Amino acid sequence: MSKTTIAAVQMVSTPKVEENLDTARRLLAEAAGKGARLVTLPEYWPIMGMSDTDKVGHAERPGDGPIQEFMAAQAREHGFWLIGGTLPLASGEAGRVLNTTLVYDPEGQPASRYDKIHLFGFTRGSESYDEARTIVPGEAVGSFEAPFGRVGLSVCYDLRFPELYRAMGEVALIVVPAAFTHTTGLAHWEVLLRARAIENQCYVLASAQGGTHRNGRRTFGHSMMIGPWGEVLGQLPEGEGVVCGEIDTAVLAEVRQSLPALKHRKL
């Protein structure tokens, strides 16, 4: 079979980890019910605190903690690949964490890890963000081999740095768990996602936070799946839900054969 159903979960996460686990459990079951064989959660899905420092108190050590136990159990229960959005992992540095994507295989075993490299900073009027205050940047490119091909891992602000995606090599799918602000998302989210799909001739699956959170932050949502020709195959504007679509390796091959841009690269 050349086709594989994949899904992006969209959430409006709260400051309470237990609430977010319950929401994720329900939405992951919905994705499984739609036949998804690979599912991604959004950035910050386990906790969207009242302040940026709240996540530090929930940082887990690698391989140990309720958030990681939950993700492993969900992957095993539903028999799909689970890309765990991001969770806070201990960095060894006081007051700062790693913003980490963990991947679990259908048996619930750890399969890959990526620590977010590019940290968001934005100031306009009263709206201001500085992830570097509470997050230590990662250093290594992340990817893993799925049954349909290599999957490249990235997170939110990484989307603005195309060199990261080139460094992944040839991939069938790029995933982008995110919590884009409404301001920047309205201006740039879709065009950047489509650009990454077009220039890398691959599918893109973006799983977002989408709504107004209890801390007052408004995230853009619009979780979506994009094809290797740059077409939007499905999206969810705001609120909780699941976006599903099919990866078709035959379509991937046809796009790359008819327009062999990856082979034409000189740099």
Q: Is 156 a catalytic residue?
A: yes
Token digits for 207? 């799983």
Q: Is 266 a catalytic residue?
A: no
Provide the CB-side half-sphere exposure for 68 (13 A, CA): 20
**204, 210, 215, 217: CA torsion to nearest 10:** 80
Q: Which of 55, 60, 131, 156 is catalytic?
A: 156
Is 115 in contact with 98 (CB distance < 8 Å)?
Answer: yes
- Sign of the torsion formed by the C-alpha atoms of 47, 50, 53 and 58: negative
Spell out the alpha helix ranges (H) of the chain.
Answer: 17-33, 66-78, 162-167, 182-184, 190-200, 249-258, 261-264
Tokens 């107004």 belong to residue:
212
Q: Which of 55, 116, 202, 240 is catalytic?
A: 116
**How many whole angstroms separate alpha carbon 11 and alpha carbon 146?**
25
Token digits for 232? 């939007």
**How many whole angstroms separate alpha carbon 48 and alpha carbon 185?**
18
The total of other beta-carbon atoms located within 10 Å of residue 107's CB is 10
User: Could you give the 3-state DSSP secondary structure of residue 248?
Assistant: strand
Strands 149-153 and 142-146, by their bridges, are antiparallel
Q: Residue 189 has what DSSP assignment?
A: I
Q: Is 116 a catalytic residue?
A: yes
Is 143 in contact with 150 (CB distance < 8 Å)?
Answer: yes
Q: Which of 43, 60, 238, 240 is catalytic?
A: 43
| Residues classed as catalytic | 43, 116, 156
